[in-house]
Amino acid sequence: MAAISKRLLLSDLVSSDKIDQVPSNYIRPISQRPNLQSVSHDLSIPLIDLHDLFGPDRGHVIDRIGRACRDYGFFQVKNHRVPESTISNMMQIAREFFNLPEEERLKSYSDDPSKTTRLSTSFNIRTEKVANWRDFLRLHCYPIHDYIHEWPANPASFRDHVAEYCRSVRGLALEIIEAISESLGLNKDYINRQLGNHGQHMALNYYPPCPQPDLTYGLPGHTDLNLITILLQDQVPGLQVLRNGEWVAVDPVPNTFIINIGDQVQVISNDRYKSVLHRAVVNCDRERISIPTFYCPSRDAVVGPAPELVTDDEPAVYREFTYGEYYDKFWKRGLAKESCMDMFLAT
Ligand code: OGA
Ligand code: NI
């Protein structure tokens, strides 16, 4: 078994030390391994064309989004109005960033989850017992002017391309949030107004090739703590979603985004929509990049079930909390438990 690495980042361990076995601190106990042979590839999540969201057929698209949120917790979107060039520049600059020399990348390194810009590895190396096969650059990105000066300045066009991407994806997030409100029978501004000043974070996930992908994860099964996640992935498969107790691969479709419901939508909808377990697995041959945008409330926003969705038959499942409290508990607990929601149940 290979020794535990002294390198800070996994990508440098993989590329420089040329390991041919997964180091022991990445190996999951047998009962928790991904079991890649039993993953289904033939069930796909709904692909929704957003073109009609802006025309007379809006009601039909809202229905499809509502059904996808209720039945899957996941859907894909096309005709989303984020320009192809914005997407390809984002993916390209992420790739360039992870290809920078080690000492250049390490300028952004931190293992402190409260930092608003940081490059790190695994999930939370301060609290976790088993590491994950991933490096990631995490950025807070709304309001942009509060954070852009912290972002990497190398590659030279990093800030410009990422800022353009963030602005464009934020527009999409707001459209989806409106659609989700409407699909729940709420005023279309309802969720928007529950988010305080709003927040937007993103991760640039880098999953290096892995010599033994059946022993470890890029990310183990988890739910996202935020409101909605808009995921951009490259052409390498790796995302899997839990559906009816079975892991289903969500293989990449060019120029679409994958959208999933996070814990905050589950809370606001009072459990009508479920924040679904998903995970990222790795493979032997190819590196993979995925870029989730986590749209969220601001820290001071108070979140709880929408009063219109609380009835005598369906009492409030969750208590009210600030998003800051939820966020801090999520990072402290880590991914050893799949979700944090049990800490916020109504009494
Ligand atoms: C995440 C996540 C999936 C992926 O970062 O929360 O679920 O495919 N990523 O990288
Ligand atoms: Ni996730």
**What pLDDT is recorded for position 319?**
97
pLDDT in tens, 142-177: 999 999 999 999 999 999 999 999 999 999 999 999
Mutate which of 39, 239, 277, 283 to test ligand 1's pocket (most atoms within 8 Å of Cβ)? 239
Alpha carbons 142 and 136: distance in angstroms, whole number = 19
207-216, 248-257, 335-344: the lowest-pLDDT one: 335-344
pLDDT category, 3, cuts 50, 70, 90? low
Distance of alpha carbon 270 from its chain centroid, rounded? Answer: 21
Q: Ligand 2 centre from 278 Cα, in Å?
A: 6
Selection from 223, 227, 247, 229 nearest residue 339 by Cα: 223
Written as one string, the DSSP assignment of 279-303 is EE---SS--EEEEEEEEE--TT-EE
Closest atom of ligand 1 to CA, residue 136: 5
What's the rounded mean pLDDT across residues 198-206? 98
Burial environment of residue 55 by CB neighbours within 10 A (0 to 12, 13 to 18, 19 or more)? exposed
CATH class of the domain at 10-344: mainly beta
Q: Would the pLDDT of 4 be above 70?
A: no
From the CB of residue 246, how many other CB atoms can be counted at a distance below 10 Å?
12
Evaluate: CB of 219 within 6 angstroms of ligand 1: yes
Burial environment of residue 258 by CB neighbours within 10 A (0 to 12, 13 to 18, 19 or more)? buried
Per-residue tokens: 263 = 């814990």
Q: Would the pLDDT of 1 be above 70?
A: no
Evaluate: CB of 224 within 6 angstroms of ligand 1: yes
Q: Ligand 1 centre from 232 Cα, in Å?
A: 9
pLDDT category, 324, cuts 50, 70, 90? very high
pLDDT category, 5, cuts 50, 70, 90? low
Q: Please report which ligand is nearest the Cα atom of 238.
A: 1
Q: Ligand 1 centre from 306 Cα, in Å?
A: 28
Q: Ligand 2 centre from 105 Cα, in Å?
A: 24
β pairing state of 228-233 and 288-296 = antiparallel
Q: Please report which ligand is nearest the Cα atom of 279.
A: 1
Task: Give exposure, 131-148, as e/b (b: 16+ Cβ within 10 Å).
Answer: bbbbbbbbbbbbebeebb
Mutate which of 201, 205, 276, 286 to test ligand 1's pocket (most atoms within 8 Å of Cβ)? 205
Evaluate: CB of 239 within 6 angstroms of ligand 1: yes
| Residue 184 neighbours by CB under 8 Å, 6+ apart | 66, 190, 269, 272, 273, 306, 309
Question: Is residue 220 within a helix (H) or strand (E), and if so which, with residue range?
Answer: strand 219-222
Burial environment of residue 259 by CB neighbours within 10 A (0 to 12, 13 to 18, 19 or more)? buried
From the CB of residue 27, how many other CB atoms can be counted at a distance below 10 Å?
17
Alpha carbons 318 and 316: distance in angstroms, whole number = 6
Written as one letter, the residue type at 250 is V
What's the rounded mean pLDDT across residues 298-320? 97
Mean pLDDT over each residue of the chain, to the nearest integer: 94
35-44, 213-222, 308-317: the lowest-pLDDT one: 35-44
Q: Would the pLDDT of 2 be above 80?
A: no
pLDDT category, 235, cuts 50, 70, 90? very high
Residue 258 β-bridge partners: 76, 231
pLDDT in tens, 29-84: 999 999 999 998 867 799 999 999 988 899 999 999 999 999 999 999 999 999 99
Q: Ligand 2 centre from 279 Cα, in Å?
A: 7
pLDDT in tens, 80-133: 999 999 999 999 999 999 999 999 999 999 999 889 999 999 988 888 889 999
> Contact, 270 vs 306, CB < 8 A?
yes
Q: Ligand 2 centre from 281 Cα, in Å?
A: 12
β pairing state of 257-261 and 228-233 = antiparallel
Q: Ligand 1 centre from 73 Cα, in Å?
A: 14
Three-class SS of 69-80? HHHCCEEEEECC
Residue nearest to atom 6 of ligand 1 (CA): 224
Taking CA atoms, 136 is separated from 50, 204, 289, in Å, by 30, 5, 10
pLDDT in tens, 12-42: 999 887 788 999 999 999 999 999 999 988 6
- To the nearest whole percent, how much of the chain has pLDDT over 70? 97
